[in-house]
Amino acid sequence: MTEKKQRRVIDGVLLLHKPLGCSSTQALGRAKWLLGAVKGGHTGTLDPLADGLLPLCFGHATKLAHDLLDADKTYDAFIVLGQSTTTGDAEGEVNFSSSDVINREQWDAILPQFMGEISQVPPMYSALKKDGKPLYEYARVGVEIEREARQVSILDMQTRSFDYPFVTLSVTCSKGTYIRTLAEDIGKALGVGAHLRGLTRTAVGTLKLDDAMTLEALEALPESERAAVLMPLDALMQNTPVVHLDDATAARFVQGQRLKLSVADAESVRVYWQQVLIGLASVTQNTLSPSKVLMTALPLK
């Protein structure tokens, strides 16, 4: 039986190194329990068969998580050439093999075809839903569902190692990109097939795996010190412009009022009062319009 723990309101962001074999929801649940947090959420799922960076948001940070859902992601993809599988990864059965050997020059020559805007058909073994049921549930019983191709962006690809049939490829891509599909499509273009044998997410936007910690490391800390490892709310938006308000204008902002300010137009800005992040806003023609308010009132003395 899981030990009951007193829950409390905690605000901040935990950069978690999610382990293999653990779902994003399971990782979040464990972190919430270790922190004793009332409210938490993750910023987009990371497949159980992948490890790497999973930013977790707690308290007010959950209101800002959407910005990370749209952020570019970077992965280290561990690819096997010469074989494709039913799932696109090492869990599936081999459904195509080739005895041809691809050299580094052939590999390098094919990659530019997959840079920039490309079209992908989402894999059957994915969490996309049809009639309320994930596609992987249909796939497990042998049912193939027609999927529409979608446009995604491959912003950068760097080959970390090449020792046929094993390749390590670093990929920076837009949201919605399936790396297993990218590997399969490269294998098809080479004529030898390919699948993933592993996947590690190394960055989400400006957040890096190097700054993440494991659940084991979090659990090893004294309970009173765990919340101190959380990053501040604005860690999610380091590239977002900043606006500072005085007492009077901040009081109006947290009530949801628009403000006339001499500020450059911006789709999104961070709004601060006394070095405290109080919300997000858009700016159009010197009008600051609240989009997310993190306080209902200012703690004025």
So which residues are the catalytic ones?
A: 47
- Which residue shows structure tokens 């403000």? 259
Rounded Cα–Cα distance for residues 301 and 198 (Å): 55
